Amino acid sequence: MQSRPLALTILDIVSIILLGISAYLALVFAPTELVMGDVQRVFYFHIGTAWTALMGFILAAVFSVTYLVSKDLKWDRLQVAAIEVSLVFFLITIVLGSIWARPAWNTWWTWDPRLTTAAVTELIYIAYFMLRQGIDDPERRARFGAVYALVGGLSAPITFFAIRLFRTIHPVVIGGSNAEAEGGFAMTAEMRVAFFFALFAFTVIFIDLFWNRIRLGELQEKVEQLKLKVTL
C-alpha cells in the first residue's frame, strides 16, 4: 500500500468540515429569498462548483502547455486529474441549475447561450476521456490529450462570459446586471457570507480531490509499468 501523507488526511477532514459548514450557511444561516423561495439556496453550491470547475478546466489547459513543452508525463497526470474533478463539479453545476430553472423559468432546460455553452463544455470533456481511452501508447495519448485539453480550455471562458456577451435569461448576480434575466436577485449581507464561504469551501474540496486523483494516477502508472515488466 502507498503511504498516505498526513497533510492529505488533514485536508480530507478539513474538506468534509468545510462542506458541512457551507451547507449549514446555505440552508440555515442565509435568509429565504422572497420571490423564489427556498430553491434560491441551491445558488451557493451552484456557483461554488461552477467556479472551481471552470478554474479546473483552465488549469488543465495550462498543464497541457507545460506537458507539450517539457514532454514530462507528470503534467499529463495533473491534467487528467484536473479535468476529471472539474467534470464532476460541472455536472453538479448543470444539474443544480436545471433544478433551479424549473420553478424560476418554468422549464428544466432551455437552449439559452449560457446553458448551451455549459452543456457543450461538459460534452467536450466527456469526449476527452473517450479520446484517451482509444489510445494505448502513453506518449501519444498524452500528446493528443494535451492538444485537446488546450483547445477545450477555450470553452471555460466562453461559458463564463456567455451571460455578459449575449442576450440571455440567465441572471448575472456578480459583477453586473442583465436586462433580460429572469430570476435575478440582490444579495443580503448573510447571503454574501454564505456565497463567499461556498466559493472558499469548494476551492479547498477541489484541491483535496485533485490531490487524491493525482495519487491515483501515479498508482495507475506504477501498475502499468509493473504489468509491462511481468509480461516481458
Partner 1 sequence: MFLQTPTPDTSGYMIAGYVVSFVVMGLYVASIYLRNRNLNRDKAMLEEMDKPAPKKAKTVTKKSKKK
List residues near partner 1 by CB under 8 A.
Answer: 1-2, 19, 23, 27, 32-42, 45-46, 49, 85, 88, 91-92, 95-96, 99-100, 102-103, 205, 209, 212-213, 215-216, 219-220, 222-223, 226-227, 229-230
Rounded Cα–Cα distance for residues 58 and 86 (Å): 10
Shorter beta-carbon distance to partner 1: residue 14 or 158: 14
Shorter beta-carbon distance to partner 1: residue 32 or 177: 32
**Minimum CB separation from partner 1 for residue 165, in Å?**
27
159 neighbors 118 (Cβ within 8 angstroms): yes
Task: Name which of 11, 17, 2, 62 is nearest 210 in CA terms.
Answer: 11
**Minimum CB separation from partner 1 for residue 166, in Å?**
26
Shorter beta-carbon distance to partner 1: residue 35 or 186: 35
**Minimum CB separation from partner 1 for residue 88, in Å?**
5
61 neighbors 149 (Cβ within 8 angstroms): yes
**Minimum CB separation from partner 1 for residue 134, in Å?**
20
Shorter beta-carbon distance to partner 1: residue 60 or 150: 60
30 neighbors 216 (Cβ within 8 angstroms): no
41 neighbors 19 (Cβ within 8 angstroms): no
CA 99 to chain centre: 18
Handedness of CA 84, 85, 88, 94 (dihedral sign): negative
**Minimum CB separation from partner 1 for residue 140, in Å?**
23
Shorter beta-carbon distance to partner 1: residue 83 or 85: 85
Rounded Cα–Cα distance for residues 55 and 53 (Å): 5
